[in-house]
Structure formats: structure tokens, C-alpha cells
Amino acid sequence: MSGNPPPLFSFSPEDTFPFRRKIIKSPCNKPLGGRTQEKDGYLITAARRVRVYDTDFAGVVYYGSYTRWIEEAVAEYMRGHSLPFSELQRREVYFAVKEVRIEYLSPVRYEEVVELGVRPPELKGRRVTFQFCFFRGADPVVRGEITYASIDKDFRPREIPEWVKEEYMKMRR
């Protein structure tokens, strides 16, 4: 036998697939760029189209994927309020995730669009908590909260600086 073995599968541009769809431009996976939209008291900060890597074998969003989306929603909320995490880091203000609570209300499937919503933060001591809710259309599909603890660059607890507290309080107005 000479040469390479035959490929296990082949693909040619002429192949047609029953699931081929027209590609539509959408705002998914991008921040909403200053547009303010609220649902049930949550400020919608971004929209996400569920990708295959977000799902499990059943095509339903894998529970661990939601934590990335929570971080994205909070980061966009902060950026939209002129306090991006990069500015906090530049000024040596750090927050570590202390706790995440997630309630799954309805399965989200591959290719569906989910809007990410966040409520203004609540401050308690050295912690800041954001409530979040993700929507498919008008329906909430996931909700919960994420709590961050204020730390220094050596990962020791630290008081939240006054100027940061003031910025968080502005978000609540």
C-alpha cells in the first residue's frame, strides 16, 4: 500500500445541508452601546446568541457557561456607568467573586438569543452584589446574584474605597 489512507470524511463546497440558514447580522454577542432598555427592573447590557460551545450534548446551555455571561453582563453594566473594571484595576481596586447563586427557570438552546440584564449593585461592608436576569424575549430564563469581595493586590480583604462606593451609589439613583 502506498500513499495516505483515505480520509474518514470529506466535505466539498457543493455539499448542501438541511440546516443551512441565511446569515443575518445581529447585535448578539456585543454590548448594546449605550442603548438603555429595561425589563422587570433589569438594565439590559448585552445580547448573546447561544453558540455550540455554550451547550452540552443535548444542545442546551451548559450550566458553567452562565458564569461567563454573568461576568459579561456585570462588566458591560459597569462600563455603561463609566466605571469599567479596567479603570478599577488601573487604580489598584480589585474584586474577587465570593459567591454566585443561579436559578435556572427554563432551558436555553443552541442558536437562541438571550438578553443579559443587571440591577444596580448593593453594598454591604467589603462586598458588592449584583442581581442579574437573562431573558429570552420577555421571558426570564435564568436569574440570580453575584457577590464580589474587595481585595488588595495580595488577595487580602480590603475596604471598598470611598470614591468607588460613591460611584456604586450613583448607579442606584
pLDDT of 159 > 80? The answer is yes
Q: How confident is the model at residue 37 (pLDDT cuts 50, 70, 90)?
A: confident
Residue 152 domain boundaries: 30-171
Residues 6+ apart with CB under 8 A from 157: 126, 149, 150, 151
Q: What is the pLDDT of residue 34?
A: 47
- Work out how many domains the chain is built from and give that number: 1
Domain membership flag for residue 94 = yes
Alpha helices in 41-152 (DSSP H): 65-80, 85-90
Domain membership flag for residue 4 = no
Which pTM was predicted?
A: 0.78
Residues 6+ apart with CB under 8 A from 43: 36, 37, 77, 80, 117, 118, 119
